[in-house]
């Protein structure tokens, strides 16, 4: 592909050697990170080595350190765990073990190390880097390496990527493996819900996470659990009565099941453990409910990585290689993190110290500090769960004054009557967004009105007030329970304005795709001739196409990517045993190439044709030549997305 566009031309890895290893507990997506490091390293002209079995392989040397090539990381993306192996190594903690490891690296000229693991693995790597010059001097004095080798390999550069299902590392919004672990938990919860509803049971689920409650908190948010126990925010004294009262109220509201999620490190306000068995016994004793305990265990670590983890790991792997190439002798060790939607580099030891500070805060019962140290994302998730799961008593709500169905003149400063509607094609997650909006609105004292069938239903007056219980169980349901249409409001403006006046609607929340975006623009343009439209209007992007201006990620796009990735995995598997077969897969997305390009990255496609990147016959010819060369290797299979 000589005529293809070249990226990172100013960076060269010629003459450099990079080693990649996975250490500590395994996590889905580690293989995608290894693949990205190897291929990016080869792309810039560096030599890349696998270190098998983590630090143990580095200490033992020999066949544990092997040169990697482009082909050796094929078909790794869809495999969970780590194919190069991982081990917890006691020898590396001793200086003699690190001395042997340094000797094995110098023998191969490796001075760039990419470590994928948790905070313990990354701390060990930083200590290794700090001791490097002393270790080389010792090796020279003992005659195990010569002076010239020590001079050529005088500086060791370290970059870390956090691979952990616990998401317990400060400085990054998500660690590699967390999203896939959440997939496993939600799959189990969905399966449990059907049997629990049949028998009106209560289930207590224990999830992993050690001393971090992220998995428990976010899975509780995703499945609408009745109660959650996390170590960062222990329940207050008297929680037993409060929980039993909540479960009892939910049963009285004709809810046929209860889900309680417990982090394995859950504690009470006295730092004493709260076990799943204790909670089960409590529910049986106080309420007499048929209660079962399910401990998920290592199921959460296994299985195929999600699309998000593959993409995250691939992006981090590329950034890690760039960090190593740009490093100077005085550059401190860094860790590649996710901040918002951007891969960033942060000082490694600062992040490790912050992570250790969380545990210290919990030990000292400074739980508010522990939540704050976990980061903005964790804090937001906790606050959102509290808002959506626990209904305030009517006496606590800021009640709206009756306005007789007519809009008041002048600016509105009291509680609102908010209309919520879906517009455009259905997208996974729409119902969860409606549930959140309705419950938060009710908590703030607003009247929440559901509009069925988009702008068409709005014009016909298909409007109904929604209560707290009306949106129960909506979180995990796909499609749009309100009903949605692509129709734009232009030809219904008069009727929509009239319906807003009749129902006293003075705020509009539209959840949908590009049609929702255009629809709001039309309503905005009509404000001059229709006073009822002069109200606050907000849009929540919700489309598989991910084509809404101003938004990095729309609701529904991640689920669509997982569907594409899963389909591509099965199609690639179907080619196993056959030879010289190319698959061409068409994705949705209209004129937006997000699903094709990012789906191609997650599935390991050979090419992705998208509208934003014009191509001609020469590009097709180049890709055909690439596939022809590929068929001469052991990977006699091609995958193209469009």
Average pLDDT over residues 380-409: 71
Average pLDDT over residues 574-587: 84
pLDDT at 414 over 80: no
pLDDT score of 572: 87
Beta bridge partners, 582, equal 638
- What are the tens digits of pLDDT across the range 261-313? 999 999 998 889 999 999 999 999 999 999 999 999 889 998 999 999 999 99
Q: CA 206, CA 293: separation in Å to the nearest integer?
A: 8
Q: Where in the chain is the domain with CATH 3.40.50.460?
A: 178-301, 557-641
Burial tier of 578 (Cβ tally within 10 Å: 0-12, 13-18, 19+): exposed
- Please give the DSSP secondary-structure letter assigned to residue 80: -
Which candidate, 428, 445, 433, places its Cα nearest to that of 538? 433
Is residue 76 classed as helix, strand or coil in its secondary structure? coil
Q: CA 532, CA 437: separation in Å to the nearest integer?
A: 22
Contact between 520 and 539 under an 8 Å Cβ cutoff? The reply is yes
Q: CA 306, CA 464: separation in Å to the nearest integer?
A: 38
Is residue 149 classed as helix, strand or coil in its secondary structure? helix
Q: What string of H, E and C letters represents the secondary structure of 605-624?
A: CCEECCCCCCCCHHHHHHHH
pLDDT score of 27: 93
The band of 66, judged by pLDDT with boundaries at 50, 70 and 90, is very high
pLDDT score of 441: 94
pLDDT score of 410: 44
Which candidate, 204, 205, 229, places its Cα nearest to that of 217? 229
Average pLDDT, rounded, for the chain: 91
pLDDT at 409 over 50: no
Which candidate, 435, 441, 464, 434, places its Cα nearest to that of 392? 441
Beta bridge partners, 67, equal 49
Query: How many CB atoms sit inside 10 A of residue 28's CB?
Result: 30
Q: CA 293, CA 219: separation in Å to the nearest integer?
A: 16
Question: What tokens does 353 get?
Answer: 């110290």
Alpha helices per DSSP H over 164-213: 178-199
Which is catalytic among the residues 166, 179, 226, 309?
166
DSSP element (H, E) containing 245: helix 239-252
pLDDT at 633 over 70: yes
The band of 392, judged by pLDDT with boundaries at 50, 70 and 90, is confident
pLDDT score of 49: 96
Positive or negative, the CA dihedral 216, 220, 226, 232 is positive
Angle at 72 between CA 325 and CA 103, to 5 degrees: 55
pLDDT score of 5: 54
Contacts for 467 with CB less than 8 Å, ≥ 6 apart: 442
Contacts for 19 with CB less than 8 Å, ≥ 6 apart: 48, 49, 50, 51, 65, 105, 108, 110, 112, 113, 114
What does the buried/exposed string (b/e) look like for 331-351 if buried means 16 or more CB atoms within 10 Å of the residue's CB?
Answer: eebbbbbbeeeebebbebbeb
Query: How many CB atoms sit inside 10 A of residue 30's CB?
Result: 30
Q: CA 609, CA 607: separation in Å to the nearest integer?
A: 7
pLDDT score of 413: 62
Percent of the chain topping pLDDT 90: 73
Average pLDDT over residues 424-429: 95
Q: What is the CATH number of domain 17-175+305-360?
A: 3.40.50.450
Q: Where in the chain is the domain with CATH 3.40.50.450?
A: 17-175+305-360, 417-541
Contact between 415 and 399 under an 8 Å Cβ cutoff? The reply is yes
Architecture of domain 417-541: 3-Layer(aba) Sandwich (3.40)
The band of 188, judged by pLDDT with boundaries at 50, 70 and 90, is very high
Query: How many CB atoms sit inside 10 A of residue 533's CB?
Result: 22
Q: CA 486, CA 337: separation in Å to the nearest integer?
A: 39
Angle between helices 30-43 and 307-326 (to 10 degrees): 40
Architecture of domain 557-641: 3-Layer(aba) Sandwich (3.40)
Is residue 34 classed as helix, strand or coil in its secondary structure? helix
- What are the tens digits of pLDDT across the range 202-253? 999 999 988 899 999 999 999 999 999 999 999 998 999 999 999 998 888 8
Q: What are phi and psi of 292, to 5 degrees?
A: -130, 150
* Catalytic residue list contains 119: no
Burial tier of 303 (Cβ tally within 10 Å: 0-12, 13-18, 19+): middle
Average pLDDT over residues 533-559: 95
pTM for the structure as a whole? 0.92
pLDDT score of 412: 55
Q: CA 512, CA 485: separation in Å to the nearest integer?
A: 10
Contact between 456 and 486 under an 8 Å Cβ cutoff? The reply is no
Top-level CATH class of 178-301? Answer: alpha beta
């Amino acid at each position: 592909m000589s005529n293809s566009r070249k990226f990172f031309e100013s960076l060269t890895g010629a003459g450099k050697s990079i080693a990649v290893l996975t250490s500590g507990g395994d996590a889905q997506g580690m293989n995608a990170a290894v693949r990205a490091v190897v291929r990016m390293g080869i792309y810039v002209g560096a030599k890349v080595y696998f270190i098998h079995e983590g630090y143990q392989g580095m200490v033992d040397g020999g066949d544990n350190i092997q040169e990697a090539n482009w082909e050796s990381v094929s078909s790794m993306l869809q495999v969970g765990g780590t194919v190069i192996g991982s081990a917890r190594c006691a020898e590396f903690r001793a200086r003699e073990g690190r001395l042997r490891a340094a000797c094995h690296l110098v023998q191969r000229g490796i001075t760039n190390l990419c470590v994928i693991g948790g905070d313990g693995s990354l701390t060990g790597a930083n200590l290794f880097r700090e001791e490097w010059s002393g270790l080389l001097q010792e090796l020279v004095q003992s005659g195990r390496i010569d002076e010239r080798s020590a001079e050529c390999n005088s500086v060791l550069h370290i970059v870390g990527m956090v691979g952990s299902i616990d998401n317990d590392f400060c400085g990054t919004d998500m660690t590699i493996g967390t999203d896939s672990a959440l997939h496993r938990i939600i799959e189990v919860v969905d399966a449990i819900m059907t049997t629990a509803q049949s028998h009106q049971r209560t289930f207590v689920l224990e999830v992993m996470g050690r001393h971090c409650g992220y998995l428990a908190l976010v899975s509780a948010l995703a499945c609408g659990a009745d109660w959650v126990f996390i170590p960062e925010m222990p329940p207050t004294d008297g929680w037993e009565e409060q929980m039993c009262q909540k479960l009892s109220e939910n049963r009285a509201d004709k809810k046929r099941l209860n889900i309680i999620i417990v982090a394995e490190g859950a504690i009470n306000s006295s730092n004493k453990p709260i076990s799943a068995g204790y909670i089960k016994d409590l529910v049986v004793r106080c309420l007499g409910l048929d209660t079962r305990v399910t401990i998920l265990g290592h199921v959460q670590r296994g299985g195929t990585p999600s699309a998000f983890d593959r993409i995250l790991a691939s992006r981090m792997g590329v950034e890690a290689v760039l960090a190593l190439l740009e490093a100077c002798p005085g550059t401190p060790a860094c860790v590649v993190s996710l901040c918002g939607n951007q891969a960033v580099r942060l000082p490694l030891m600062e992040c490790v110290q912050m992570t250790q500070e969380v545990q210290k805060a919990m030990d000292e019962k400074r739980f508010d500090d522990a939540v704050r140290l976990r980061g903005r994302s964790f804090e937001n998730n906790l606050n959102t769960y509290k808002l959506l799961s626990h209904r305030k008593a009517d006496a606590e709500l800021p009640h709206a004054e009756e306005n007789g169905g007519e809009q008041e003149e002048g600016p509105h400063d009291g509680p609102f009557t908010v209309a919520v509607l879906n517009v455009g094609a259905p997208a996974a997650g729409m119902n969860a967004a409606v549930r959140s909006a309705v419950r938060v609105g009710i908590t703030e004292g607003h009247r929440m009105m559901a509009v069925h069938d988009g702008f068409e239903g709005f014009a016909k007056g298909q409007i109904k007030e929604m209560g707290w219980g009306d949106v129960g169980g909506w979180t995990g349901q796909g499609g749009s329970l309100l009903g949605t249409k692509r129709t734009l409001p232009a030809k219904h403006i008069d009727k929509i304005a009239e319906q807003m006046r009749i129902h006293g609607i003075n705020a509009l929340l539209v959840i949908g795709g590009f049609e929702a975006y255009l629809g709001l623009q039309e309503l905005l343009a009509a404000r001059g001739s229709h006073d009822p439209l002069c109200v606050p209007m907000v849009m929540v992007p919700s489309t598989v196409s991910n084509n809404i201006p101003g938004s990095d990620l729309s609701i529904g796009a991640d689920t669509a990517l997982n569907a594409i990735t899963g389909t591509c995995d099965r199609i690639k598997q179907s080619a196993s045993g056959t030879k010289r077969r190319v698959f061409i897969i068409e994705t949705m997305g209209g004129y937006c190439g997000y699903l094709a390009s990012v789906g191609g990255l997650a599935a390991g496609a050979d090419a992705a044709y998208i509208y934003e990147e014009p191509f001609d016959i020469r590009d097709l010819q180049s890709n055909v030549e690439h596939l022809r060369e590929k068929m001469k290797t052991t990977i006699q299979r091609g995958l193209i997305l469009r």
